[in-house]
Structure 1
Amino acid sequence: MSLFADVLADWRVPVEKDPAARGYLDVLLSYPGFHAVTAYRVLHRLWGARIPLLPRFLANIVRTLTGIEIHPAAKIGKRFFIDHGMGVLIGETSEIGDDVTLYKNVTLGGTSLGPGKRHPTLGNDVVVGTNACVLGAIVVGDGARIGAGSVVVRDVPPNATVVGIPGRIVLVAGKPAVTRTALVDMPDPQGMVVQQLAERVAALEVKLAEFGVPTQARRAPSVNPAIFDDVSPAI
Protein backbone atom coordinates (compact mmCIF):
# COMPACT_ATOMS: atom_id res chain seq x y z
CA MET A 1 0.00 0.00 0.00
CA SER A 2 1.29 3.48 -0.87
CA LEU A 3 2.16 6.11 1.71
CA PHE A 4 -0.82 8.22 0.68
CA ALA A 5 -3.21 5.27 1.00
CA ASP A 6 -1.81 4.39 4.45
CA VAL A 7 -2.21 7.95 5.72
CA LEU A 8 -5.71 8.26 4.26
CA ALA A 9 -6.76 4.99 5.95
CA ASP A 10 -5.35 6.21 9.29
CA TRP A 11 -7.15 9.52 8.84
CA ARG A 12 -10.54 7.87 8.47
CA VAL A 13 -10.29 5.88 11.71
CA PRO A 14 -10.77 8.71 14.26
CA VAL A 15 -13.73 10.04 12.30
CA GLU A 16 -15.34 6.59 12.36
CA LYS A 17 -14.40 5.51 15.90
CA ASP A 18 -14.19 8.64 18.03
CA PRO A 19 -17.50 10.43 18.74
CA ALA A 20 -15.51 13.51 19.77
CA ALA A 21 -14.12 13.93 16.24
CA ARG A 22 -15.97 16.67 14.36
CA GLY A 23 -14.70 15.67 10.96
CA TYR A 24 -11.53 15.25 8.94
CA LEU A 25 -10.34 18.82 9.47
CA ASP A 26 -10.70 18.41 13.24
CA VAL A 27 -8.56 15.26 13.13
CA LEU A 28 -5.98 16.91 10.90
CA LEU A 29 -5.59 19.91 13.19
CA SER A 30 -6.08 18.58 16.71
CA TYR A 31 -5.25 14.85 16.94
CA PRO A 32 -1.61 14.33 18.00
CA GLY A 33 -2.08 10.58 17.64
CA PHE A 34 -2.80 11.03 13.95
CA HIS A 35 0.15 13.42 13.62
CA ALA A 36 2.51 10.90 15.22
CA VAL A 37 1.28 8.00 13.10
CA THR A 38 1.54 10.05 9.90
CA ALA A 39 5.11 11.02 10.77
CA TYR A 40 5.88 7.37 11.52
CA ARG A 41 4.62 6.34 8.05
CA VAL A 42 7.17 8.67 6.46
CA LEU A 43 10.03 7.87 8.82
CA HIS A 44 9.50 4.12 8.51
CA ARG A 45 10.05 4.39 4.78
CA LEU A 46 13.21 6.42 5.35
CA TRP A 47 14.37 3.74 7.79
CA GLY A 48 13.65 1.05 5.21
CA ALA A 49 15.71 2.99 2.68
CA ARG A 50 18.65 2.75 5.13
CA ILE A 51 19.01 6.50 5.44
CA PRO A 52 21.24 6.96 8.51
CA LEU A 53 20.44 9.09 11.58
CA LEU A 54 17.67 11.19 10.03
CA PRO A 55 14.71 8.90 10.89
CA ARG A 56 15.69 8.68 14.58
CA PHE A 57 16.43 12.40 14.77
CA LEU A 58 13.07 13.33 13.28
CA ALA A 59 11.30 10.75 15.47
CA ASN A 60 12.67 12.55 18.53
CA ILE A 61 11.24 15.82 17.25
CA VAL A 62 7.86 14.13 16.73
CA ARG A 63 8.01 12.79 20.29
CA THR A 64 8.65 16.29 21.61
CA LEU A 65 5.73 17.73 19.65
CA THR A 66 3.17 14.96 20.26
CA GLY A 67 4.29 13.13 23.41
CA ILE A 68 4.24 9.89 21.40
CA GLU A 69 7.38 7.86 20.68
CA ILE A 70 7.30 5.40 17.78
CA HIS A 71 10.58 3.87 16.69
CA PRO A 72 10.92 4.16 12.88
CA ALA A 73 11.83 0.46 12.66
CA ALA A 74 8.55 -0.72 14.20
CA LYS A 75 6.14 -2.48 11.84
CA ILE A 76 2.57 -1.15 11.97
CA GLY A 77 -0.40 -2.27 9.90
CA LYS A 78 -3.30 -0.39 8.36
CA ARG A 79 -5.84 1.86 10.10
CA PHE A 80 -3.76 2.35 13.24
CA PHE A 81 -5.32 4.63 15.86
CA ILE A 82 -3.73 6.22 18.93
CA ASP A 83 -6.43 7.91 21.01
CA HIS A 84 -5.43 10.46 23.68
CA GLY A 85 -1.90 9.36 22.90
CA MET A 86 0.29 11.26 25.37
CA GLY A 87 2.98 8.96 26.74
CA VAL A 88 2.60 6.15 24.20
CA LEU A 89 5.83 4.24 23.51
CA ILE A 90 6.31 1.72 20.69
CA GLY A 91 9.69 -0.01 20.67
CA GLU A 92 11.99 -0.86 17.79
CA THR A 93 11.01 -4.49 17.17
CA SER A 94 7.30 -4.06 17.86
CA GLU A 95 4.91 -5.44 15.26
CA ILE A 96 1.31 -4.26 15.09
CA GLY A 97 -1.44 -5.66 12.88
CA ASP A 98 -4.36 -3.94 11.18
CA ASP A 99 -7.16 -2.03 12.98
CA VAL A 100 -5.30 -1.73 16.29
CA THR A 101 -6.15 0.96 18.86
CA LEU A 102 -3.87 2.18 21.65
CA TYR A 103 -4.84 4.60 24.41
CA LYS A 104 -2.90 7.01 26.62
CA ASN A 105 0.40 5.93 28.22
CA VAL A 106 0.54 2.51 26.56
CA THR A 107 4.01 0.95 26.43
CA LEU A 108 5.04 -1.73 23.96
CA GLY A 109 8.42 -2.34 25.55
CA GLY A 110 11.27 -4.80 25.66
CA THR A 111 12.57 -7.01 28.45
CA SER A 112 15.98 -7.80 26.97
CA LEU A 113 19.07 -5.81 26.07
CA GLY A 114 20.20 -8.33 23.47
CA PRO A 115 19.79 -8.04 19.70
CA GLY A 116 16.84 -9.52 17.86
CA LYS A 117 13.17 -9.53 18.70
CA ARG A 118 12.62 -7.75 22.03
CA HIS A 119 9.18 -6.18 21.77
CA PRO A 120 5.64 -7.53 21.46
CA THR A 121 3.64 -8.51 18.41
CA LEU A 122 0.00 -7.41 18.34
CA GLY A 123 -2.44 -9.11 15.99
CA ASN A 124 -5.31 -7.52 14.11
CA ASP A 125 -8.14 -5.66 15.89
CA VAL A 126 -6.33 -5.47 19.23
CA VAL A 127 -7.24 -2.77 21.78
CA VAL A 128 -4.79 -1.78 24.53
CA GLY A 129 -6.20 0.35 27.35
CA THR A 130 -4.79 3.36 29.17
CA ASN A 131 -1.54 2.87 31.14
CA ALA A 132 -1.15 -0.75 30.02
CA CYS A 133 2.33 -2.22 29.49
CA VAL A 134 2.88 -5.07 27.05
CA LEU A 135 6.44 -6.24 27.53
CA GLY A 136 8.81 -8.63 25.82
CA ALA A 137 8.74 -10.67 22.63
CA ILE A 138 5.23 -11.98 23.27
CA VAL A 139 2.28 -12.38 20.92
CA VAL A 140 -1.12 -10.82 21.54
CA GLY A 141 -3.66 -12.63 19.37
CA ASP A 142 -6.22 -11.14 17.01
CA GLY A 143 -9.16 -9.43 18.68
CA ALA A 144 -7.58 -9.39 22.14
CA ARG A 145 -8.37 -6.68 24.68
CA ILE A 146 -5.80 -5.47 27.23
CA GLY A 147 -7.41 -3.72 30.19
CA ALA A 148 -6.31 -0.33 31.50
CA GLY A 149 -3.31 -0.50 33.82
CA SER A 150 -2.48 -4.11 32.99
CA VAL A 151 1.07 -5.46 32.74
CA VAL A 152 1.24 -8.26 30.19
CA VAL A 153 4.37 -10.41 29.96
CA ARG A 154 2.97 -13.64 28.48
CA ASP A 155 1.27 -14.55 25.22
CA VAL A 156 -2.41 -13.68 24.94
CA PRO A 157 -4.71 -15.95 22.87
CA PRO A 158 -7.01 -14.50 20.21
CA ASN A 159 -10.22 -12.80 21.41
CA ALA A 160 -9.08 -12.87 25.05
CA THR A 161 -9.49 -10.09 27.61
CA VAL A 162 -6.58 -9.52 29.99
CA VAL A 163 -6.60 -7.42 33.17
CA GLY A 164 -4.41 -6.90 36.22
CA ILE A 165 -0.77 -6.98 37.30
CA PRO A 166 0.52 -9.35 36.15
CA GLY A 167 -2.05 -9.66 33.39
CA ARG A 168 -4.47 -12.56 33.70
CA ILE A 169 -7.01 -13.78 31.19
CA VAL A 170 -10.57 -13.23 32.41
CA LEU A 171 -12.54 -13.72 29.19
CA VAL A 172 -12.03 -15.69 25.99
CA ALA A 173 -14.42 -14.92 23.14
CA GLY A 174 -16.71 -13.20 25.63
CA LYS A 175 -16.90 -16.17 28.03
CA PRO A 176 -15.22 -16.50 31.45
CA ALA A 177 -11.80 -18.08 31.18
CA VAL A 178 -11.02 -21.33 33.02
CA THR A 179 -7.67 -20.64 34.64
CA ARG A 180 -5.36 -22.88 36.64
CA THR A 181 -6.39 -21.03 39.79
CA ALA A 182 -10.04 -21.70 39.07
CA LEU A 183 -9.33 -25.41 38.58
CA VAL A 184 -7.36 -25.62 41.82
CA ASP A 185 -10.17 -23.95 43.73
CA MET A 186 -12.85 -26.32 42.42
CA PRO A 187 -14.22 -28.71 45.11
CA ASP A 188 -13.34 -32.41 45.01
CA PRO A 189 -16.47 -34.26 43.81
CA GLN A 190 -15.59 -37.42 45.78
CA GLY A 191 -14.99 -35.37 48.90
CA MET A 192 -18.38 -33.70 48.41
CA VAL A 193 -20.11 -37.09 48.24
CA VAL A 194 -18.38 -38.31 51.42
CA GLN A 195 -19.27 -35.09 53.23
CA GLN A 196 -22.91 -35.35 52.17
CA LEU A 197 -23.07 -38.97 53.37
CA ALA A 198 -21.53 -38.02 56.71
CA GLU A 199 -24.06 -35.23 57.16
CA ARG A 200 -26.97 -37.52 56.35
CA VAL A 201 -25.74 -40.19 58.79
CA ALA A 202 -25.31 -37.58 61.51
CA ALA A 203 -28.78 -36.20 60.84
CA LEU A 204 -30.20 -39.72 61.02
CA GLU A 205 -28.48 -40.26 64.38
CA VAL A 206 -30.08 -37.10 65.73
CA LYS A 207 -33.47 -38.36 64.60
CA LEU A 208 -32.88 -41.82 66.11
CA ALA A 209 -31.83 -40.23 69.39
CA GLU A 210 -35.23 -38.52 69.51
CA PHE A 211 -36.79 -42.01 69.50
CA GLY A 212 -34.45 -43.26 72.23
CA VAL A 213 -32.22 -45.33 69.97
CA PRO A 214 -28.57 -45.15 71.16
CA THR A 215 -25.88 -44.34 68.59
CA GLN A 216 -22.09 -44.34 68.74
CA ALA A 217 -21.01 -42.76 65.45
CA ARG A 218 -19.42 -39.32 65.57
CA ARG A 219 -21.61 -36.56 64.30
CA ALA A 220 -20.54 -34.24 61.48
CA PRO A 221 -20.42 -30.57 62.46
CA SER A 222 -23.10 -28.06 61.46
CA VAL A 223 -25.72 -30.65 60.56
CA ASN A 224 -29.28 -29.58 59.91
CA PRO A 225 -31.63 -32.37 61.15
CA ALA A 226 -34.48 -30.89 59.17
CA ILE A 227 -33.41 -32.88 56.13
CA PHE A 228 -34.92 -35.97 57.82
CA ASP A 229 -38.15 -34.36 59.02
CA ASP A 230 -40.10 -36.66 56.75
CA VAL A 231 -38.88 -39.74 58.71
CA SER A 232 -41.68 -41.21 60.89
CA PRO A 233 -41.26 -43.65 63.84
CA ALA A 234 -42.11 -47.29 63.18
CA ILE A 235 -45.41 -48.50 64.69
Structure 2
Amino acid sequence: MFSFFKKKKFLVDSIAGITDFHNHLLPGIDDGAGTVEDSIIMIEKFKELGIENFIHTPHIISDYYPNNRATIEEAFTKLYSEYDNQTSNSYSAEYMMDQQFLEILSQNEIIPLFKKYLLVEMSYFQPPINLKEILFKIQNHSYKPILAHPERYAYYQSSDLGKYKELKNLGCSFQLNLLSLTPHYGIPVQKIALKLLENDMIDFISTDTHRIDHLLKLEKITLQQKQLELIKKVIDNNHKKISLN
Protein backbone atom coordinates (compact mmCIF):
# COMPACT_ATOMS: atom_id res chain seq x y z
CA MET A 1 0.00 0.00 0.00
CA PHE A 2 1.28 3.45 -0.91
CA SER A 3 2.37 5.57 2.03
CA PHE A 4 2.03 9.33 2.06
CA PHE A 5 4.77 9.46 4.66
CA LYS A 6 8.33 9.28 3.42
CA LYS A 7 10.78 7.56 5.70
CA LYS A 8 13.24 9.90 7.39
CA LYS A 9 16.86 9.13 8.16
CA PHE A 10 19.21 10.36 10.84
CA LEU A 11 21.42 13.26 9.79
CA VAL A 12 24.39 12.02 11.86
CA ASP A 13 24.71 9.01 9.56
CA SER A 14 25.62 11.44 6.77
CA ILE A 15 27.92 13.88 8.54
CA ALA A 16 30.44 11.48 10.09
CA GLY A 17 33.96 12.42 9.09
CA ILE A 18 33.38 16.12 8.48
CA THR A 19 35.74 18.77 9.81
CA ASP A 20 33.65 20.98 12.06
CA PHE A 21 34.99 24.48 11.44
CA HIS A 22 32.46 26.51 13.40
CA ASN A 23 32.27 25.68 17.08
CA HIS A 24 32.91 27.13 20.50
CA LEU A 25 34.80 24.28 22.15
CA LEU A 26 37.84 26.17 23.43
CA PRO A 27 37.51 26.66 27.18
CA GLY A 28 36.84 29.92 28.96
CA ILE A 29 37.17 32.51 26.22
CA ASP A 30 33.63 33.09 24.92
CA ASP A 31 30.06 31.87 25.44
CA GLY A 32 30.96 28.26 24.67
CA ALA A 33 32.81 25.76 26.85
CA GLY A 34 33.54 27.15 30.28
CA THR A 35 36.22 24.69 31.33
CA VAL A 36 38.55 22.09 29.82
CA GLU A 37 36.24 19.47 31.28
CA ASP A 38 33.30 20.97 29.36
CA SER A 39 35.38 20.94 26.17
CA ILE A 40 36.37 17.30 26.60
CA ILE A 41 32.79 16.21 27.26
CA MET A 42 31.71 17.82 23.99
CA ILE A 43 34.65 16.47 21.99
CA GLU A 44 33.94 12.95 23.26
CA LYS A 45 30.31 13.33 22.20
CA PHE A 46 31.45 14.55 18.78
CA LYS A 47 33.54 11.36 18.50
CA GLU A 48 30.42 9.29 19.15
CA LEU A 49 28.82 11.09 16.21
CA GLY A 50 31.82 10.34 13.98
CA ILE A 51 33.36 13.83 14.05
CA GLU A 52 36.95 14.10 15.28
CA ASN A 53 38.48 17.01 13.38
CA PHE A 54 37.94 20.64 14.35
CA ILE A 55 38.93 24.14 13.44
CA HIS A 56 38.10 26.01 16.62
CA THR A 57 36.42 29.38 16.08
CA PRO A 58 35.83 31.37 19.27
CA HIS A 59 34.13 34.73 18.95
CA ILE A 60 36.09 37.89 18.43
CA ILE A 61 33.67 40.68 19.40
CA SER A 62 35.20 43.92 20.66
CA ASP A 63 32.77 44.68 23.50
CA TYR A 64 32.21 41.12 24.70
CA TYR A 65 34.97 38.73 23.64
CA PRO A 66 38.09 40.73 22.70
CA ASN A 67 40.07 37.65 21.74
CA ASN A 68 43.20 37.63 19.62
CA ARG A 69 45.75 35.10 18.45
CA ALA A 70 47.40 34.98 21.89
CA THR A 71 44.22 34.29 23.88
CA ILE A 72 42.98 31.73 21.36
CA GLU A 73 46.32 29.92 21.20
CA GLU A 74 46.49 29.85 24.99
CA ALA A 75 43.05 28.22 25.25
CA PHE A 76 43.90 25.81 22.40
CA THR A 77 47.17 24.77 24.08
CA LYS A 78 45.46 24.40 27.45
CA LEU A 79 42.82 22.09 25.99
CA TYR A 80 45.14 19.86 23.97
CA SER A 81 47.77 19.62 26.68
CA GLU A 82 45.11 17.82 28.72
CA TYR A 83 43.34 16.04 25.88
CA ASP A 84 45.14 14.40 23.00
CA ASN A 85 42.88 12.74 20.46
CA GLN A 86 45.59 12.34 17.82
CA THR A 87 43.91 14.56 15.24
CA SER A 88 45.14 17.55 13.27
CA ASN A 89 43.00 20.19 14.92
CA SER A 90 43.66 23.89 14.50
CA TYR A 91 42.09 27.23 15.31
CA SER A 92 40.78 30.37 13.69
CA ALA A 93 37.98 32.65 14.88
CA GLU A 94 34.44 33.81 14.22
CA TYR A 95 34.87 37.51 13.50
CA MET A 96 32.14 40.02 14.20
CA MET A 97 32.17 42.50 11.33
CA ASP A 98 32.61 45.63 13.42
CA GLN A 99 35.14 48.46 13.67
CA GLN A 100 37.62 46.33 15.60
CA PHE A 101 37.48 43.76 12.84
CA LEU A 102 38.53 46.37 10.29
CA GLU A 103 41.48 47.25 12.51
CA ILE A 104 42.47 43.58 12.81
CA LEU A 105 42.20 43.25 9.05
CA SER A 106 44.28 46.36 8.34
CA GLN A 107 46.98 45.20 10.78
CA ASN A 108 47.20 41.79 9.09
CA GLU A 109 46.34 39.99 12.33
CA ILE A 110 43.69 37.71 10.82
CA ILE A 111 43.75 33.99 11.68
CA PRO A 112 42.34 32.43 8.52
CA LEU A 113 40.40 29.22 8.19
CA PHE A 114 41.45 26.71 5.55
CA LYS A 115 43.28 28.37 2.65
CA LYS A 116 42.26 32.04 2.68
CA TYR A 117 38.71 31.64 3.94
CA LEU A 118 37.46 33.72 6.85
CA LEU A 119 34.43 33.05 9.08
CA VAL A 120 32.48 36.24 9.77
CA GLU A 121 29.22 37.12 11.46
CA MET A 122 26.91 40.09 11.97
CA SER A 123 24.74 41.42 14.76
CA TYR A 124 21.33 39.75 15.02
CA PHE A 125 19.73 43.19 15.31
CA GLN A 126 20.95 44.81 12.10
CA PRO A 127 23.71 44.42 9.52
CA PRO A 128 26.71 46.76 9.54
CA ILE A 129 25.89 50.02 7.76
CA ASN A 130 29.17 49.63 5.88
CA LEU A 131 28.73 45.93 5.07
CA LYS A 132 29.64 46.31 1.40
CA GLU A 133 32.82 48.15 2.33
CA ILE A 134 33.78 45.45 4.84
CA LEU A 135 33.23 42.64 2.37
CA PHE A 136 35.22 44.54 -0.25
CA LYS A 137 38.11 45.03 2.17
CA ILE A 138 38.10 41.36 3.17
CA GLN A 139 38.49 40.34 -0.45
CA ASN A 140 40.97 43.14 -1.14
CA HIS A 141 43.17 41.49 1.50
CA SER A 142 42.88 38.23 -0.48
CA TYR A 143 40.49 36.55 1.96
CA LYS A 144 37.22 34.82 1.08
CA PRO A 145 34.36 35.58 3.50
CA ILE A 146 32.14 32.80 4.79
CA LEU A 147 29.07 34.24 6.47
CA ALA A 148 28.19 32.22 9.56
CA HIS A 149 24.58 31.03 9.88
CA PRO A 150 22.94 33.41 7.33
CA GLU A 151 19.61 31.77 8.09
CA ARG A 152 19.60 33.32 11.57
CA TYR A 153 19.58 36.98 10.52
CA ALA A 154 15.88 37.83 10.69
CA TYR A 155 16.29 41.05 8.70
CA TYR A 156 17.35 39.00 5.65
CA GLN A 157 14.60 36.42 5.76
CA SER A 158 12.23 36.81 2.81
CA SER A 159 10.47 34.50 0.40
CA ASP A 160 12.39 35.71 -2.66
CA LEU A 161 15.84 35.32 -1.05
CA GLY A 162 16.76 38.68 -2.55
CA LYS A 163 19.04 39.83 0.27
CA TYR A 164 20.87 36.52 0.23
CA LYS A 165 21.40 36.73 -3.52
CA GLU A 166 22.87 40.18 -3.04
CA LEU A 167 25.31 38.85 -0.44
CA LYS A 168 26.30 36.07 -2.81
CA ASN A 169 26.97 38.65 -5.51
CA LEU A 170 29.17 40.51 -3.03
CA GLY A 171 31.37 37.45 -2.70
CA CYS A 172 29.99 35.74 0.43
CA SER A 173 29.86 32.01 0.88
CA PHE A 174 27.24 30.71 3.32
CA GLN A 175 27.72 28.34 6.26
CA LEU A 176 24.62 26.60 7.60
CA ASN A 177 24.19 25.63 11.26
CA LEU A 178 22.96 22.04 11.32
CA LEU A 179 20.56 22.76 14.17
CA SER A 180 18.89 25.34 11.92
CA LEU A 181 17.35 22.36 10.12
CA THR A 182 15.19 21.95 13.24
CA PRO A 183 13.07 24.44 15.23
CA HIS A 184 16.02 24.93 17.64
CA TYR A 185 16.42 28.62 16.71
CA GLY A 186 12.74 29.02 15.81
CA ILE A 187 10.44 28.00 12.96
CA PRO A 188 11.30 31.02 10.72
CA VAL A 189 15.00 30.09 10.89
CA GLN A 190 14.21 26.47 10.05
CA LYS A 191 12.12 27.49 7.05
CA ILE A 192 14.74 29.80 5.59
CA ALA A 193 17.49 27.25 6.24
CA LEU A 194 15.65 24.63 4.22
CA LYS A 195 14.84 27.17 1.52
CA LEU A 196 18.50 28.21 1.19
CA LEU A 197 19.51 24.55 1.06
CA GLU A 198 16.91 23.69 -1.55
CA ASN A 199 17.97 26.67 -3.69
CA ASP A 200 21.61 25.51 -3.68
CA MET A 201 22.79 28.58 -1.78
CA ILE A 202 24.54 26.82 1.11
CA ASP A 203 28.27 26.28 0.61
CA PHE A 204 29.38 24.88 3.96
CA ILE A 205 27.93 23.22 7.04
CA SER A 206 29.09 23.17 10.66
CA THR A 207 27.55 22.74 14.08
CA ASP A 208 28.19 26.05 15.90
CA THR A 209 28.23 23.93 19.05
CA HIS A 210 28.36 25.86 22.32
CA ARG A 211 27.06 23.29 24.78
CA ILE A 212 26.58 19.54 25.10
CA ASP A 213 22.81 19.87 24.62
CA HIS A 214 23.46 21.11 21.08
CA LEU A 215 25.05 17.76 20.27
CA LEU A 216 22.31 15.81 22.01
CA LYS A 217 19.81 17.58 19.75
CA LEU A 218 22.00 17.11 16.69
CA GLU A 219 22.08 13.33 17.03
CA LYS A 220 18.28 13.22 16.95
CA ILE A 221 17.80 15.17 13.69
CA THR A 222 16.01 13.25 10.95
CA LEU A 223 15.56 14.46 7.38
CA GLN A 224 13.95 13.35 4.16
CA GLN A 225 16.16 11.58 1.62
CA LYS A 226 16.09 14.57 -0.74
CA GLN A 227 17.26 16.88 2.03
CA LEU A 228 20.05 14.48 2.94
CA GLU A 229 21.19 14.43 -0.67
CA LEU A 230 21.42 18.23 -0.62
CA ILE A 231 23.42 18.05 2.61
CA LYS A 232 25.76 15.51 1.02
CA LYS A 233 26.53 17.96 -1.79
CA VAL A 234 27.50 20.56 0.79
CA ILE A 235 29.60 18.03 2.72
CA ASP A 236 31.45 17.11 -0.46
CA ASN A 237 32.23 20.80 -0.96
CA ASN A 238 33.49 21.01 2.63
CA HIS A 239 35.85 18.09 2.12
CA LYS A 240 37.13 19.51 -1.16
CA LYS A 241 37.81 23.01 0.17
CA ILE A 242 39.34 21.90 3.47
CA SER A 243 41.56 19.26 1.85
CA LEU A 244 43.16 22.00 -0.23
CA ASN A 245 44.42 23.71 2.93
* TM-score for the superposition, normalised by structure 2: 0.28
TM-score normalized by the length of structure 1: 0.29
More helix, by proportion: 2
Structure of higher CA gyration radius:
1
